[in-house]
Every structure is written in C-alpha cells, then in structure tokens.
Structure 1
Amino acid sequence: MKVGVVTFPGSLDDVDARRAVSIGGNEAVPLWHGDDDLRGVDAVVLPGGFSYGDYLRCGAISRFAPVMTSVIEAAGKGMPVLGICNGFQILCESHLLPGALIRNDHRKFVCRDQRLRIERVDTPWTSAYAAGAEVTIVLKNGEGGFVADEATLDLLEGEGRVVARYLDGNPNGSLRDIAGISNERGNVVGLMPHPEHAVEDLTGPGTDGLGFFTSLAEHAFA
C-alpha cells in the first residue's frame, strides 16, 4: 500500500514514520502540510512532534493545514488514518476522534519504554495483533493525558473503541489508562505512544510496534 506521511513545521518523527512504513512492507510517500494533494495514497500517518510549535494548543493550528482538508475528507470515506502522539492531538482537534490530550498530570515530559495492552484488533492498524496482546513501545510526551466526559468514555468503552491501554502505571494521567482510541468505523486510530520507534531491535526496545504497519498489508488483502 502507498502510505502518506505528513510533514508539518515542527514534525520530529516523520522520517522515522516513513522508515517504519517501509519496514512494514508498504511504500512511504512524503506529504507536505501546505499541499492538499494526497498523491493517490491508500492510507495516511500523522506523525509525532510539535507541529506549528504547539502554539494555542497541541494540534490546534495543524487542524487547519491544507492537507488536513483532504485527510478529513478521505477519512470520512474510509481511508485508514493513524495519528501518533502529536498526530493523535491533531485528530482530536479535527474532530475525527473524540476527547482531547492535555498536559501530563505530573507536569513533566515523560520519555520511556511503555507497556501497553492492545484491545481493538479489527482496525487496519492493529489487525496483526492478537486481542489482549501486551507490547512495549516508546512513549514520549508532555501533553499526553487523554480526557473526555464520562458519557464519551462510556461510549468508547461500550463500542470497543479503546485501541490500547497503559500497563504498569499510568504515565500521564490519561483517563481509564487509555493510550489509543479509534473512530466508530475503525479506520481512524489515534495513539499516544510511538510504534515507529519499535520496529527494529537495533534502534528501539524491540519490534512490538511493527504490527501497526504490517497490519495495513493484511487489511489491503482482507
């Protein structure tokens, strides 16, 4: 599959995301924030970083980038979209996902290997995992606390839209230990930890994040 990876001003992990896409067996296509042409891609990754300097709120300016008009439209038609860290924040600001990401409850930036439980495996981004799989991937954020009102949280839980949950302690105050969620259809996934940093033994805590990228190939031929 052709997977577009968007670069915003301030993106840090776009190169890593493109490499992970390639290692996962897909073709990585660079996309620019100021261009509304998705270049015929089959899926999109919004990478981590500090897009537009995180001014106003994390992801608040990126939501209005020309490329996001096309991403929002394509997501509405079923295109797989993965938002990682800052990309998750952008998805929430774009209302492709509910809730918001706020400053960590301990008011400190966290950077560590983080254990997760994968809970939703019927998405284009998680089908390579078994339900309940426990994985370790990198977490690095200062504003990673997922919040939503109780009705929204209950809806996410009731519809099985919690994609991943933190294990071994909550690193940022996310309600109900939520590390990632999806939209109802499952094609849009937001994840605070960074699977692109866990696709090679040499450069990360292992390869537990690779499934987020190999899942696309399974989805394409399902």
Structure 2
Amino acid sequence: MNFAVLVFPGSNCDIDCFKAVEQTIGQPVEYVWHTTTDLSKYDAILVPGGFSYGDYLRCGAISRFAPVMNEVVKAAEQGKFVLGICNGFQILLESGLLPGAMLRNKSLKFRCHSAQLRVENNGNPFTTQYAEGELIDIPIAHGEGNYYCDDATLAELKANNQIVFRYNGENPNGSVDDIAGISNKQGNVVGMMPHPERAVDQLLGSEDGKRMFTSILNAWREKHGAAVVR
C-alpha cells in the first residue's frame, strides 16, 4: 500500500505522519510536494498539520489552490483514502471535500495537550479496529479547531453517520456538537483536528492513534483480497 504525505510551505507534521506510516505499519511512504500534479501511484494520501502558507487569509485557504489539491480531489472521487489532520482537516474543508468550516477556538487561545475522544463510527475505513463508543487519548495542537456547520449540515452528518470522533468531557475549542472528526458520505475521506500520528507509541503518552493506520491498511488489503493485520 503506497502512502503519500503532502508537504506545503509551512507544514510541520509531515515528518510525524511519515514516521507513523513507516514505523507502525511498515508500508511504502513518500513526501509529495504541493506542486505535484500526479498522485496515481498512491493508495492513501495524508494531508498533515502545520501552518500551510503561514495560515494567511485563513487556515487552508491558500493551500486549497495548490496544484496537488486538484489531484487529491480526483483521488477522493476514485475512492482512494484521504486523511486530513489539523491543518490538513482545514484544507479539506476549504477544498470542499468535507462540509463545514473552521473557526477560532472559543477561548481564543492555542490549545496543545492530550484530549479524550469518543469513537462514534467504527465502520469507517480509518476506525475499524476501534470499538464503537471507545474512549481514546489523542493529542491536539491548534488555535482554530472550532468546527462549525449549520443545522441542516449537522443533521445530514448525523443521518449519514459521518461524525467519526467527538470530544469526551471537555470540548477544547467549542466545536459544534463536540465534533472532533468527520468523514465524507462515502467514508474514504476523513478530517480530524487531533493528531493520531502523535499517538502511535506509549513513549509519546498514548498509542491509541496507531489503530487508525492499521485500520486503513486492513481496509486496503480487504479491498484487494489480501490478508489483514490482526
């Protein structure tokens, strides 16, 4: 399974994503620069966190127009797996691959600490190795993670089981309905503010993020008739 880790000017979690793939599931992974115009060789695309283009205008607003994002849209339409983390989530929202928008944290402060999430949908390709309702510890690091959508969109997210993660207990940013991560209707595109790539080893304080990577590997293997990872 071939993974691409996108790199924009200002990305700072690309190495974390690369290492998470390399060390947790041992699959081929490459950095892909934002000017790339061909993603055909990749089965999964990771859009990492950071401050792409310095977060000018608003988070993800400039990255949305990078040449590589046209290819990400095509890949998503082909059913390939796309995961946007933190700034990557913001970029997917700006690109229209996921519904809604991102606002400043309600506290107007940057929050950087471990957060407890509740797995709302374990039928998603990224979450099959979790139990529905399971509580997991995944760190956050953002100043604009306050997910917002209107009532009609929220009702649609609920009806289609597109809410993948919610914050359990404290909501660190004020996001609507405690949302921490969502998917598109097909389930192959996921965006989340917490950083699973920073929770793949107990030395980091949690290894609860590791199963996101093993889940997506299993989803790809099942799709291609290969043995899954237990």
- On the 8 A contact 2:116/2:138 being kept in 1, the answer is yes
Q: Which amino acid aligns with 2:23?
A: I
Give the structure 2 partner of residue 44 of structure 1: 45
Aligned-pair CA distance for 1:124: 2.1
Aligned residue number for residue 186 of structure 1? 187
Alignment of 1:52-201 (within 5 A): 52-201=53-202
The CA distance in 2 between the partners of 1:33 and 1:125, in whole Å, is 24
Contact 2:8–2:33 at 8 Å: present in 1 too? yes
CA contact (8 A) 2:39 2:75 kept: no
Q: How many residues align?
A: 221
Normalised to the residue count of structure 1, the TM-score between the two structures is 0.97
1:215 aligns with 215
Shift of 1:39: 5.6
RMSD (Å) for aligned C-alpha atoms: 0.9
- The residue identity in structure 1 corresponding to 2:33 is W
Deviation at 1:199, TM superposition (A): 0.3
Q: Match for residue 13 of structure 2?
A: 13
- The whole-number CA distance in structure 1 between the counterparts of 2:174 and 2:46 is 25
- Poorly superposed stretches of 4+, deviation over 2 Å: none
Preserved contact between residue 138 and residue 205 of structure 1 (Cα < 8 Å)? no
Q: Is the 8 A contact 1:85 1:192 kept in 2?
A: yes
SS in 2 for 1:221: helix
Gaps of 5+ in 1: none
Shift in Å, 1:36: 1.3
* In structure 1, C-alpha distance between the alignment counterparts of 2:116 and 2:58, rounded to whole Å: 27
Do the aligned residues in 1 keep the contact of 2:148 with 2:176 (CA within 8 Å)?
Answer: yes
Shift, 1:123, TM fit? 2.1
SS at match of 1:58: coil
Asked if structure 2 preserves the Cα contact closer than 8 Å seen for 1:85 and 1:144, the reply is yes
Distance 2:122 2:201 in 1: 22
* Paired AA for residue 93 in structure 1: E
Residues in 2 aligned to 1:180 and 1:173: alpha-carbon distance in whole angstroms: 13
- Contact 2:180–2:194 (CA<8 Å) still a contact in 1? yes
> Offset at 1:119?
1.1
